[in-house]
Structure 1
């Protein structure tokens, strides 16, 4: 019988062997209750894992992926621990900005994964020591730098970009022309230096104007 103090943990990982290995590590831990194990965010959602679980999440998934996957799982009421083979600065900061409580590379062993899960379940955060400098440097740069100023309309356009809307969709939602939408986007790019749509999505997350669908 599972202890009432057990930590509920779900897994979203599309690599079969790694998914099975993580599930086995969790099953063998006495203080862990293994919940839904799925290969995509959509299939995990169907399992209706109780809110408040810790979810071990890969980033490069089919369907919803990267920071959007973190936002989606956080939006279900879970605490996200990203465990990904992609552990560059942009991935780490994008995931943390999207609401992840922890981040490990797939070099982490089972003990470190369990340690991170326990820290997150206790209300703390956990980032692998080899990746922590990304978060510390980003915080230092953000505190030292000037505050980004976007107009209300620019923020609205940025929010819709982060939601995955096309220029035509944004124009219809805001009752403006596609040309005006692109003018707003050009201003946002000039102010921020972010050119590509994934970079604009991350900006929206950093500014707190992107929301889970």
Structure 2
């Protein structure tokens, strides 16, 4: 049970119909859980207006908003996110945690582990499956021992706009500079960080607290 003996409200955002139905059934059958909004995208979940401070079981590979951006949006709505994804590599796990997810499981997890994670997250704890925990621990060590990343104000602004999904042309217009200058800033960021692809740069923005969270 949640606070004061109330059931834990848990929503589901998952675009695979069979897996979505299976997770919803596991949650609905638990005596201490109240099944909330079940949807196939972040947008449709938002339309269901699930009350804040509930737990949301979230897949990463969705239609529309996905990956770390999906975590950011759902966290921005005031929910505690448990990612359950078939994609459980180091980049996905760290990106989701950096975006605010309280827990991460692979889709190999059984119903009992999903319920255990939901209950831990509901009371304010975190839960990462033991097979993935080493990613988080190693990242934490590197963050505390590695050199501090230094980006200029303009580089941080470019990175923030990229993380918001803007194209190079959009960034140029927003900052009143040329596309060539935008790409020059991005090249400098890549040289400083070693991150080459746009999803990696988006995760960097989240890790550095540069990405805009949803209101």
Fold similarity call, TM over 0.5? yes
Give distance in 2, aligned partners of 1:60 and 1:157: 25
How much has 1:212 moved relative to structure 2? 2.5
Offset at 1:178? Answer: 1.4
> How far off is 1:4 after superposition?
5.7
Cross-structure match for 2:80: 79
In the other structure, the counterpart of 1:121 is: 122
TM-align CA RMSD: 1.0
Cα drift, residue 88 of structure 1:
0.7
Looking at structure 2, the residues matched to 157 and 91 of structure 1 have their Cα atoms a distance apart, in angstroms, of: 23
In structure 1, the residue corresponding to 2:53 is in which secondary structure? coil
Q: Please give the secondary structure, in 1, of the residue aligned with 2:131.
A: coil
Structure 1 residue 184: deviation in Å? 0.8
Report what 1:51 is aligned to: 52
**Alignment map for 1:8-47 (pairs within 5 Å):** 8-47=9-48
**Residues 29-70 of structure 1: CA deviation (Å, up to 9, x unaligned):** 111010000011111111011111100000111111111110
The answer on 1:150 being equivalent to 2:151 is yes
Equivalent position SS for 1:131: helix
Quick check: 1:68 aligned with 2:76? no
Runs of 4+ in 1 over 3 A off after TM superposition: none
Cα separation, 2, equivalents of 1:191 and 1:74 = 29
SS of aligned partner of 1:103:
strand
SS in 2 for 1:202: helix
Query: Unaligned stretches of 5+ in structure 1?
Result: none
Structure 1, residues 162-213: CA drift from partner, whole Å, max 9, x if none? 0011111111111111111111111101101111111110100010010224
Classify the secondary structure of the residue corresponding to 1:164: coil
3-state DSSP class of the match of 2:158? helix
TM normalised by structure 1 equals 0.97
1:136 aligns with 2:137: yes
Q: Return the alpha-carbon distance in structure 1 between the equivalents of residues 10 and 170 of structure 2.
A: 37
